């Protein structure tokens, strides 16, 4: 048995960024490559360029996202900015699943290919450090990949706290949007 569906017609690109909402917050889209996007509002007081990530500050923030907190890295990974800069107080599309442009945070010089990544400070990504715990009655060890948000498929570089033109790419997935 096959499932046949008709996708809604979209009149704007997932690259579109506006200061007034052009579609309903939380609307979902996918592209021909299978990448998935969600329409959000940039609650933070800074622009978020491609290669950077955003998070949900609280469970009740709906589809309002912000950049990562430089001190505590609190919040839940919402997705990555892939195509166009998400302006301050603006509306736009973030990638929640797929192959996304990614940049190391300003505290990391780079990350290599084939590395699990997680949210870092300054709306960037850092290599994920896996925790290993023993919890089974028979003494087996368990790996915890829960904090990982993606897996790099190409390397990325920063330069003295700013982005260079060398953005990496990673397969990312948000569990929260």
Q: Does 103 have pLDDT greater than 70?
A: yes
Q: How far is CA 167 from CA 50, 67, 104, 140, 160, in A?
A: 9, 18, 8, 38, 15
Q: Does 169 have pLDDT greater than 60?
A: yes
Contact 50, 167 (CB under 8 A): yes
Q: How far is CA 165 from CA 108, 139, 159, 161, in A?
A: 16, 47, 10, 13
In angstroms, rounded to a whole number, what is the distance separating the alpha carbons of residues 157 and 145? 24
The answer as to whether 60 is a domain residue is yes
19-57 pLDDT, tens per residue?
999 999 999 999 989 999 999 999 988 999 998 989 888
Which pairing describes strands 141-144 and 76-80: parallel, antiparallel, or unpaired?
A: unpaired
The answer as to whether 143 is a domain residue is yes
Mean pLDDT of the chain: 80
What is the predicted pLDDT for the residue at 25?
Answer: 94
The answer as to whether 43 is a domain residue is yes
pLDDT top residue among 110 and 80: 80
The answer as to whether 3 is a domain residue is no
pTM for the whole thing?
0.82
Average pLDDT over every residue of 65-71: 72
The answer as to whether 105 is a domain residue is yes
106-149 pLDDT, tens per residue?
776 778 889 888 888 778 888 887 665 555 555 554 445 567 88
What is the predicted pLDDT for the residue at 74?
Answer: 58
Average pLDDT over every residue of 100-107: 84
The answer as to whether 7 is a domain residue is no
Which pairing describes strands 125-127 and 64-65: parallel, antiparallel, or unpaired?
A: unpaired
Q: Does 4 have pLDDT greater than 80?
A: no
How many domains would you assign to the chain?
1
Q: Which domain holds residue 75?
A: 17-173
What percent of the chain lies above the pLDDT cut of 70?
74
The answer as to whether 154 is a domain residue is yes
CA–chain centroid gap for 38, Å, is 11
Q: Does 165 have pLDDT greater than 50?
A: no
pLDDT top residue among 167 and 115: 115
The answer as to whether 10 is a domain residue is no
What is the predicted pLDDT for the residue at 70?
Answer: 55
């Amino acid at each position: 048995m096959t499932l046949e569906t008709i996708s809604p017609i979209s009149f704007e690109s997932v690259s579109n960024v506006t200061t007034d909402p052009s579609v309903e917050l939380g609307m979902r889209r996918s592209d021909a490559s299978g990448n998935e996007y969600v329409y959000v509002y940039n609650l933070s007081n800074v622009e978020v360029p491609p290669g950077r990530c955003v998070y949900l500050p609280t469970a009740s923030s709906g589809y309002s996202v912000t950049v990562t907190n430089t001190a505590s890295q609190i919040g839940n990974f919402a997705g990555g900015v892939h195509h166009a800069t998400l302006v301050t107080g603006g509306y736009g599309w973030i990638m929640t699943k797929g192959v996304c442009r990614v940049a190391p945070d300003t505290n990391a010089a780079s990350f290599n290919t084939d590395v699990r990544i997680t949210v870092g400070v300054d709306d960037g990504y850092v290599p994920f450090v896996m925790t290993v715990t023993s919890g089974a009655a028979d003494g087996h060890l368990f790996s915890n990949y829960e904090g990982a948000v993606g897996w790099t498929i190409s390397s990325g570089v920063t330069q003295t706290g700013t982005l260079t033109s060398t953005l990496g790419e990673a397969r990312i997935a948000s569990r929260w949007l």
